[in-house]
Structure 1
Amino acid sequence: MRRRSGSCAAVVFAALGALAAPSAASGQSCAVKGDFNDSHLHMTNYIQEGVTPAKLLEVMGERVPRAVLFGIPLQQQWSYTLTGEFAPTYYLDSDAPLYYYSFTDAVIATSYLALPQAQRARFDPMITGFNPADMYAADHIRRVLTTFPGVFEGIGEFSIHKEFVSSKIAGGPASLTDPALDRILDFAGQVGLVVIFHNDIVMPFTKRQNERAYFDQAKAVLSRHPNTVIIWAHTGLGRVVQPPSQHLQFLEEILSDPKLKNIYFDISWDEVAKYIVRDDRTVAATADLLNRHPDRFLLGTDWVAPTDPAKYFSLYDMYKPLWAKLTPEASGDVRICNYQRLFDGARIKVRAWERANLPAQKTGG
């Protein structure tokens, strides 16, 4: 079994090494094919059920050349004393707590490795099964990388402040001021892992005078990790976290800071899209920001275990008013090229870290 494992790892490295040459990262032009690359896609849900990567490829078709691949790090507890025979499948279905489910990373890795090599090239797997309030979280990430070499290219989506979710987590919520988070981001930067980070940009139902509370803490964290590629999911918005009065100014504050050029935003989730396409004014304001910073935004769907192509592509269709306002270059960057640049770069860096840090029998020498 040991010899077979080493041989498998060697094949994975050889295949991914050949596929890793980036276009934008190496100075070549980005080939804009398909509608978008999906920078935010969950294979499993809050009870660790979902779809296979093969099914995701059926749903993506030729319209989505590549997508991230990750589960959800939290498991919703089924407490019989609270819901009886009703088995909750979502975090809003029960008052029972959520807990971290580290096995999700093994599920993602084994599902990915079950694909033919040509199909693996369309996915960029992410590590999510860690508690960002745990000083050992970085050790978990390292352990996953060394157990499944040649597979993962990033970490996330993981959450710090998240409406309705943070307060339900067993053991208490994560914090932007916790050194455990710095340890995670430091390690990600050392390896070259892309980070997808969920953090509400303001407190739900916040007052204007308190709008900077989370934002200032988040900006301080981001500033401490200039060598880590970080994608701030949903531009910090959510179901009840509506755009604060200074939302676009907050984004501009990060985008215009040369010390934060490693920070990106995704515009995933239909709950976010509804704010952007709410009216002509919101579309125009968002388009202006993206046209001025076209290399800093990515499109993701945030669908959980999608099986229906019509639903899967509905978010892309929601954004048609936005696409119409973007320059052709900005549209291509947001939909396709920024993803390709970031994740092609991660493939090279993470594989190099693995070759330098794993025994020869695992990396294939």
Structure 2
Amino acid sequence: MKLRIGRRLGLAGAALTAAVAVVASPAGAGQALAAADHGCFDRAKEPYTSKVDSHLHFRPFGGKAIPFDELTGYLRKTGVQHASMYGIGQTLPVNSSCTYYLDCPGTPVVPSMKNDFVNAENWLETKPEDPELAVSMTFMDLAKPETIPAGIALYDKEFPGVFRWAGEVNVVKQALFPNHHKATTTENIKHWAPFMKVLRERGIPITLHSDLGSDAEPTKYLPLMEEVLRRYPHNKIVWAHMGLSKELTKMDPDRHIRLMERMLGEHHNLTVDLSWRVLEDAYFSKPGVRAKYAAFLDRHPTRAIPGTDFVASANKDYKVYEEELEVTSRINKALGDEAFRDIALGQNYFRLLGINETAPRVCEAAAR
């Protein structure tokens, strides 16, 4: 009998004795056999790619999307067992020919409910368990917080119990400035209390895109995230991309790590999101830098979740997703066993969502 790696493995433990067939990937999954016979995940034989994609956009900014069944097939093929099902809250106008906002400077990109409704309907049609998906609310305009509670109430009416995540939503995203986006203000943040109360009471995590700054001013926008965390210390807050972006590719890694260390130390409700290949391309891949970030994550193994930040526009295919997963998973290779289990195998994600899943333990080094 074939079983998927990791899925229910923590619950079944050593009772599982079957081998696992794994689809080939750049990480070597085609040659991997499961460690099910001794109830652990063998890092010497298994692929290093993350079993969770906590940051996956099932809908594009504009134009056609990859069909739902096709995209969930990508996840199964790469061994991803859990994913947060983001839309894109900020959409291009329906009459725009663009699929990506950077191709259309001057065209407004504004929050919308359209993608969330499509995602919810697609999920309800199949309610997939392989992969298991957490549908997310991405419509929120954080600069107009007074509109958000009514939006959540509408979602409750139309799709009761479906939405289990919030975001990715933008506190400040410099890449969208040419498309009429403006940074959220501290005054706006003060008025988030009603909808943050709803999320807190339901245990719903919220992923915030909040740029730290630019190469010229690396921490220009840090006060915004500090204000969010100060005002809402009991909400589950996920900081997308650790605050990094294409506008901030030259920050001293030691300075960035010290900042992340301080933020995690001061705000126990904060989780950092390792999604988007800009982290690998601009930081982790540089000589000596990967080890520094791995050591940081090893010191805080319960405080990070993985993701691709893949945007499912129809001009992409399986190969693109496979590459994004592999690139964003490279940091996993440098992690110690505890952080690898918590991050790559999904234990932190399960804990954030409050779901009854347990990641497999990692095999002892001598047994690999």
> Shorter-chain TM-score: which interval?
0.7 to 0.9
Aligned equivalent of 2:224: 217
Shift of 1:151: 0.9
Q: Is the alpha carbon distance of 1:31 and 1:150 closer, same or farther for their aligned partners in structure 2, counting shifts above 3 Å?
A: farther
326-335 or 271-280, which moves further after superposition?
Answer: 271-280
8 Å CA contact retained: 1:70, 1:156: yes
One-letter amino acid of the structure 2 residue matched with residue 324 of structure 1? K
SS in 2 for 1:256: helix
Aligned equivalent of 1:122: 132
Is 2:82 aligned against 1:66?
Answer: yes
Aligned with residue 332 of structure 1, among 341, 346, 362:
341
Give the Cα–Cα distance (whole angstroms) in 1 for the partners of residues 162 and 278 of structure 2. Answer: 31
Superposed, 1:67-82 pairs within 5 Å as 67-77=83-93
192-201 or 182-191, which moves further after superposition?
Answer: 182-191
Aligned equivalent of 2:66: 51
Shift of 1:269: 0.8
Aligned with residue 353 of structure 2, among 328, 339, 343:
343
Give the Cα–Cα distance (whole angstroms) in 1 for the partners of residues 206 and 82 of structure 2. Answer: 17
Aligned with residue 123 of structure 2, among 112, 118, 121:
112
Aligned equivalent of 2:233: 226
Shift of 1:243: 5.1
One-letter amino acid of the structure 1 residue matched with residue 206 of structure 2? V
Aligned equivalent of 2:195: 184
Shift of 1:205: 3.2
SS in 2 for 1:279: coil
Aligned with residue 286 of structure 1, among 290, 293, 299:
293
SS in 1 for 2:175: coil
Is 2:107 aligned against 1:92?
Answer: no
8 Å CA contact retained: 2:276, 2:328: no
Is 2:113 aligned against 1:102?
Answer: yes
Shift of 1:173: 4.5
Q: Is the alpha carbon distance of 1:320 and 1:303 closer, same or farther for their aligned partners in structure 2, counting shifts above 3 Å?
A: closer
Superposed, 1:8-23 pairs within 5 Å as none
8 Å CA contact retained: 1:182, 1:221: no
8 Å CA contact retained: 2:63, 2:99: no
Shift of 1:70: 1.6
Name structure 1 gaps, 5 residues minimum: 1-18, 24-29, 80-85, 348-365
SS in 1 for 2:91: strand
Give the Cα–Cα distance (whole angstroms) in 2 for the partners of residues 321 and 58 of structure 1. Answer: 22
8 Å CA contact retained: 1:193, 1:346: no
Shift of 1:334: 1.0
Is 2:321 aligned against 1:312?
Answer: yes
8 Å CA contact retained: 1:52, 1:111: no
Give the Cα–Cα distance (whole angstroms) in 1 for the partners of residues 240 and 325 of structure 2. Answer: 16
SS in 2 for 1:156: strand
Give the Cα–Cα distance (whole angstroms) in 1 for the partners of residues 306 and 84 of structure 2. Answer: 11
Q: Is the alpha carbon distance of 1:274 and 1:182 closer, same or farther for their aligned partners in structure 2, counting shifts above 3 Å?
A: farther
Name structure 2 gaps, 5 residues minimum: 1-6, 12-38, 358-368
Shift of 1:163: 1.7
Q: Is the alpha carbon distance of 1:104 and 1:315 closer, same or farther for their aligned partners in structure 2, counting shifts above 3 Å?
A: closer
Aligned equivalent of 2:245: 238
SS in 2 for 1:136: helix
8 Å CA contact retained: 2:136, 2:164: yes
Is 2:160 aligned against 1:144?
Answer: no
8 Å CA contact retained: 1:275, 1:282: no
TM-score for both structures, normalised by structure 1: 0.76
Aligned equivalent of 2:142: 132
TM-score for both structures, normalised by structure 2: 0.75
Shift of 1:71: 1.0
Q: Is the alpha carbon distance of 1:129 and 1:168 closer, same or farther for their aligned partners in structure 2, counting shifts above 3 Å?
A: same
Aligned equivalent of 1:249: 258
Is 2:271 aligned against 1:264?
Answer: yes
**1:111-132: CA deviations, max 9, x gaps?**
110115545x610000011211
Is 2:210 aligned against 1:199?
Answer: yes
Identical aligned residues as a percent:
24
SS in 2 for 1:294: coil
104-113 or 323-332, which moves further after superposition?
Answer: 323-332
